[in-house]
């Protein structure tokens, strides 16, 4: 079996770095914040060994991919366009899409805008929500949760970057990737979210210091602005997605979430995921709730890998 190979691919006017392994049906693994392709390291090899062509990009703004300066270059239109370009690069009509966090947001919108290019969708942590025609997304979150909410603090260019800069890159990565709190990510009044997040004295068994350092080294090269710009384009996304108001996700979907994910129990997310509205918006839906936190594909990598494979095997080989 070939090892993971790396290359940069021109797509949608920018260069994306990708990690790639295996041959067979194309599976794209899309990471979230604050991560890189490496968050899928377990799944890349697992799925390649089971007969799939697995591609995990650093999304725009991350890692070794290009990082446009303006927040307006990080809309779901740009992000979906990047992935369509990747599928085209490999000469495929369709791909399986696996997304986590912001990668899941991209997966939902890819299935919304171009369902004919998505053979099946597996999303982790972030469910699909119908667009509220009366309230912009970030604006409504700020009204609901206030300035202490992490998305509120990520809106103003430079604010989070300045706060993060008080810590070394490894500490910032640890503060996010090792989150164990289950309520919403809201700092007390007058406090920045990065100061509020704890630094664990002992690492959990699912990740090592060396693995965390891989992230830290990449963010030291790229900075955090590209990653934060996704949040700064949220209200622009609301404006641009008006034509899809009320649209459903028609492709086959498996949705996985950790029962200890941020806000899952306290924000009505569990009720939504297990209720009728989610299923009405995503009619061809399977739901799996795992005993984990937010970064499921790492914390519960074996279970997540096997759940992905179970879903992929439902589709007959061409």
DSSP labels for 259-289? TTSTTTTTSSHHHHHHSHHHHHHSSSEEEEE
Q: Which residues are paired to 120 by β-bridges?
A: 96
Per-residue model confidence (pLDDT) at position 1 = 55
pLDDT tens track for 186-205 = 999 999 999 999 999 899 99
Question: What's the average model confidence in pLDDT over 267-293?
Answer: 96
User: Active-site residue among 58, 66, 101, 261?
Assistant: 101
User: Active-site residue among 53, 293, 294, 301?
Assistant: 294
Q: Where are the beta strands (DSSP E) in 150-298?
A: 253-258, 285-290
Instruction: Give the strand order in the sheet containing 5-11.
Output: 5-11, 14-21, 53-57, 26-30, 95-100, 118-124, 253-258, 285-290
Per-residue model confidence (pLDDT) at position 267 = 83
Please give the biggest Cα pair distance in the chain: 57
Angle ∠(71,138,268) on CA atoms, nearest 5: 140
Note if 78 is an active site residue: no
Per-residue model confidence (pLDDT) at position 2 = 74
pLDDT tens track for 222-245 = 999 999 999 999 999 999 999 999
Q: Which pLDDT band, with edges at 50, 70 and 90, does 266 fall under?
A: confident
Note if 217 is an active site residue: no
Share of the chain above pLDDT 90, in %: 96
Per-residue model confidence (pLDDT) at position 317 = 76
Q: Where are the beta strands (DSSP E) in the chain?
A: 5-11, 14-21, 26-30, 53-57, 95-100, 118-124, 253-258, 285-290
Per-residue model confidence (pLDDT) at position 316 = 87
Q: What residues contact 268, with CB distance under 8 A and at least 6 apart? A: none
Question: What's the average model confidence in pLDDT over 146-162?
Answer: 97
- Over the Cα atoms of the chain, what is R_g? 18
Q: What is the CATH number of domain 5-313?
A: 3.40.50.1820
pLDDT tens track for 68-94 = 999 999 999 999 999 999 999 999 999
- More confident position, 1 or 234: 234
Instruction: Give yes or no for a contact between 261 and 182, defined as CB atoms under 8 angstroms apart.
Output: yes
Distances (CA, A) of 278 to 74, 80, 114, 182, 244: 26, 22, 20, 21, 16
CA proximity to 42, closest of 7, 4, 8: 4
Per-residue model confidence (pLDDT) at position 273 = 97
Q: What residues contact 267, with CB distance under 8 A and at least 6 apart? A: 184
Q: Which pLDDT band, with edges at 50, 70 and 90, does 318 fall under?
A: low
User: Active-site residue among 62, 74, 215, 231?
Assistant: 231
pLDDT tens track for 37-78 = 999 999 999 999 999 999 999 999 999 999 999 999 999 999
* CA separation for the pair 197, 166 (Å, rounded): 13
Tokens of 127: 């469910």
Pairing between β-strand 285-290 and β-strand 253-258 as defined by DSSP bridges: parallel
Which residue's entry shows tokens 């664990």?
A: 200
pLDDT tens track for 161-194 = 999 999 999 999 999 999 998 989 999 999 999 9
Note if 42 is an active site residue: no
Is pTM beyond 0.85 here? Answer: yes
């Amino acid at each position: 079996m070939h090892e993971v190979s790396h290359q940069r691919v021109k797509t949608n006017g920018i260069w994306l770095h990708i990690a790639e392994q295996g041959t067979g049906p194309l599976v794209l693994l899309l990471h979230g914040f604050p991560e890189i392709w490496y968050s899928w390291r377990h799944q890349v090899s697992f799925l390649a060994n089971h007969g799939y062509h697995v591609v995990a990009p650093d999304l725009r703004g991350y890692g070794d991919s290009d990082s446009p300066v303006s927040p307006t270059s990080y809309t779901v239109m740009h992000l979906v366009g990047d992935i369509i370009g990747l599928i085209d690069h490999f000469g495929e009509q369709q791909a399986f899409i696996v997304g986590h966090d912001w990668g899941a947001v991209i997966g939902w919108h890819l299935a919304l805008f171009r369902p004919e290019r998505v053979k099946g969708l597996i999303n982790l942590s972030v469910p699909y929500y119908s667009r509220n025609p009366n309230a912009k997304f970030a604006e409504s979150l700020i009204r609901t949760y206030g300035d202490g909410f992490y998305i509120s603090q990520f809106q103003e260019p430079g604010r989070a970057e300045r706060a993060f800069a008080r810590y070394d890159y490894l500490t910032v990565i640890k503060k996010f990737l090792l989150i164990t709190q289950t309520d919403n990510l809201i700092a007390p009044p007058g406090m920045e979210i990065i100061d509020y997040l704890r630094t664990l004295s002992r690492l959990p068994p699912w990740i090592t210091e060396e693995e965390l350092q891989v992230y830290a080294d990449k963010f030291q090269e790229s900075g955090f602005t590209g990653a934060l710009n996704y949040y700064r384009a949220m209200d622009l996304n609301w404006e641009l997605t008006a034509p899809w108001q009320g649209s459903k996700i028609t492709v086959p979907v498996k949705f996985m979430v950790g029962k200890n994910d941020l806000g899952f129990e306290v924000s009505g997310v569990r009720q939504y995921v297990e209720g009728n509205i989610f299923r009405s918006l995503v009619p061809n839906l399977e739901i799996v709730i795992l005993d984990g936190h937010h970064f499921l594909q790492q914390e519960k990598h074996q279970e997540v890998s096997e759940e992905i494979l179970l879903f992929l095997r439902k589709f007959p080989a061409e």
